[in-house]
Amino acid sequence: MKRVAVVIVTYNSADVVGGCLASIVAGSEGVKLIDVVVADNASEDDSAAIAGDGGARVVEVGSNAGYAAGINAAVAALDLDELDCVYVINPDCRLRPGSILPLAEAAWRGIAVPYMVNPDGSLQPSLRRMPSLGRAVVEAAIGGLRAGRIGKLGELVTHPSEYAEAREVAWATGAAMCMSARMLAELGPWEESFLLYSEETEYCLRARDHGWATWYEPASVIEHIGGDSAVNPSLAALLMINKVRLFRRRRGPLAGGLYFLIVLLGELARAATGRKTSRKCVAWLLRPSLRWKSLPG
């Protein structure tokens, strides 16, 4: 029987973390649940208290240090030698009965991710293709969602047919990731400098660099309520900024500079139409010092 620990990172998550914890018992059918750890990023609500009352072991991060920092704090509190895998989930996720087992059985590859649905049961696209200059051009011209619907032009995988079969992917959203304990020990901590967004991209691609894979397993289903990056201009801009930062880090200054220019031109065009998130993105691209002053919390 696979030995699993569940990790949840909270920040002002009092309205959702209780439901997440309540779903873990049924979700862990068929595996040996060793531990449930909630890493709390200095929430100003009752997140930590609710997590403790829900049977989790609470690790206080001490500040709002970001998603990666929360994961690192929780993993540091675990004994990886006693585990086969660690399942990291957002507090706004709900596990379906028996949903951990298929992921735990696939996690020997490195990272296993589930089929993600919205609260109404519809597909929530969670898989991604490899970032590239070509995809950046298409997304700058027509937008990421539209690009994802045209063949493989976009980074986001949107067509339902591509979610039908288990397969290897470049990376996936970090809202639900079951990771090999052996891989975690080998790769070390998640990169904390991103704060939010692209930290999962960095980890998936770093794992790939070291011979591990990100494996999509549709036999496992998880419901994800979803964050507010689509409606919060600062968070939407941070998502885009971190994509640029990661691309430059991995591909070097020349390719990174081209990627920056492509993204900037695309956001300038959308900002001219009055789009608030694009205006914020342009401001942060051109004046990095503005970023941290604008982040919520």
pLDDT tens track for 27-46 = 999 999 999 999 999 999 99
Question: Are β-strands 3-10 and 85-89 bridged in parallel, bridged antiparallel, or unpaired?
Answer: parallel
Indicate whether 203 belongs to any domain: yes
Residue range 251-264: mean pLDDT, rounded: 95
Give the domain range for residue 275: 233-294
Contact between 178 and 107 under an 8 Å Cβ cutoff? The reply is yes
Q: Which is more confidently placed, 252 or 274?
A: 252
Find out whether 57 and 8 touch, Cβ atoms under 8 Å: no
Distance CA 249, CA 230 (A): 25
Model confidence at 9: pLDDT above 60: yes
8 lies in the same domain as 75: yes
For a pLDDT cut of 70, what percent of the chain falls above it?
95
Same domain membership, residue 121 and residue 237: no
Q: Please name which of 136, 93, 137, 135 lies closest in space to residue 117, comparing C-alpha atoms.
A: 93
Which of 170, 196, 224 is where one domain is finished?
224
The answer to whether 12 and 114 are in contact (CB under 8 A) is no
Confidence class for position 188, pLDDT limits 50, 70, 90: very high
Same domain? 104 vs 238 = no
Residue 124: pLDDT over 70? yes
- Parallel, antiparallel, or unpaired: how do β-strands 213-224 and 110-117 relate? parallel
DSSP code at position 156: B
Q: Region 126-155: what's the mean pLDDT? A: 91
- From first CA to last CA, the distance across the chain in angstroms is 41
- Verify that 167 and 276 share a domain, yes or no: no
Tell whether 208 is covered by a domain. Answer: yes
Q: Is the pLDDT of residue 107 over 60?
A: yes
Same domain, 99 and 79: yes
- Are 209 and 259 contained in the same domain? no
Q: Looking at the structure, tell me whether residues 104 and 24 fall in a common domain.
A: yes
- Domain boundary residue among 224, 243, 264? 224
Q: Give domain status of residue 138, yes or no.
A: no
Average pLDDT, the chain: 92
Lookup result for tokens 């990172």: 9
The per-residue pLDDT for 227 is 56
Q: Provide the number of structural domains found in the chain.
A: 2
Q: Which range has the worst mean pLDDT, 72-76, 175-179, 203-207, 233-237?
A: 233-237
Verify that 73 and 216 share a domain, yes or no.
yes
Model confidence at 296, in pLDDT bands (50, 70, 90)? very low
More confident residue, 186 or 147: 186
> Over 70: is that where the pLDDT of 289 sits?
no
**Same domain, yes or no, for 201 and 256?**
no
Q: Check whether 269 has a pLDDT greater than 80.
A: yes
Q: Is the pLDDT of residue 169 over 70?
A: yes
Average confidence (pLDDT) over 147-152:
86
The residue among 180, 197, 224 that closes a domain is: 224
In this structure, what are the phi and psi dihedrals at residue 48, rounded to the nearest 5 degrees? -65, -40
pLDDT(156) > 60: yes
Are 243 and 288 found together in one domain?
yes
pLDDT at 295: 47
**207 and 249 assigned to the same domain:** no
CATH number at residue 59: 3.90.550.10
Residue 146 has pLDDT above 90, yes or no: no
pLDDT in tens, 64-73: 999 999 999 9
Residue 146 covered by a domain: no
Same domain? For 200 and 280 the reply is no
| Among 13, 90, 94, CA closest to 51 | 13
Predicted confidence (pLDDT) at residue 293 exceeds the cutoff of 70: no
